[in-house]
Amino acid sequence: MLEATDRPAIDARPAGLLDAGPVADRFVEKQVLMDRQAIDRALRRIAHEIAERNGGLEGVRLVGIRTRGVDIARRLQSLLAGTEGAEPPLGELDIALYRDDALSGLRLPEVRPTRMPFDVEGTTIVLVDDVLYTGRTVRAAIDAIMDFGRPRSIQLAALVDRGHRELPIRADYVGRTVETRRDQSVLVRLDERDGVEKVAIREPAEGRDGG
- 105: Cα within 13 Å, side-chain hemisphere: 22
Q: Does 181 bind another protein (CB under 8 A)?
A: no
Do the Cβ atoms of 100 and 131 come closer than 8 Å?
no
Cis link prior to 67 (omega < 30° from 0)?
yes
Query: CB of 10: closest distance to another protein in angstroms?
Result: 11
For another protein, the binding residues in 33-62 under the rule CB under 8 A are none
Q: What is the DSSP letter of 115?
A: B
Query: CB of 110: closest distance to another protein in angstroms?
Result: 6
Q: Does 147 bind another protein (CB under 8 A)?
A: yes
Collapse the DSSP code of 179 into the 3-class scheme (helix H, G, I; strand E, B; otherwise coil) and give the result. Answer: coil
- 89: Cα within 13 Å, side-chain hemisphere: 14
Query: CB of 148: closest distance to another protein in angstroms?
Result: 6
Q: Given the rule CB under 8 A, which of 34-42, 70-78, 91-99, 163-171 is the region that contacts another protein? A: 91-99
Q: Does 191 bind another protein (CB under 8 A)?
A: no
Q: Which of 148, 163, 172, 211 binds another protein (CB under 8 A)?
A: 148
The angle, 0 to 180 degrees and rounded to 10, between the axes of the packed helices 68-84 and 36-53 is 60
- Cα–Cα nearest to 147, from 95, 110, 73: 95
Q: Given the rule CB under 8 A, which of 37-45, 70-78, 100-108, 175-183 is the region that contacts another protein? A: 100-108
Binding footprint of another protein on the chain (CB under 8 A): 1-9, 22-24, 67, 94, 97-98, 102-103, 105-108, 110-115, 143, 147-149, 185
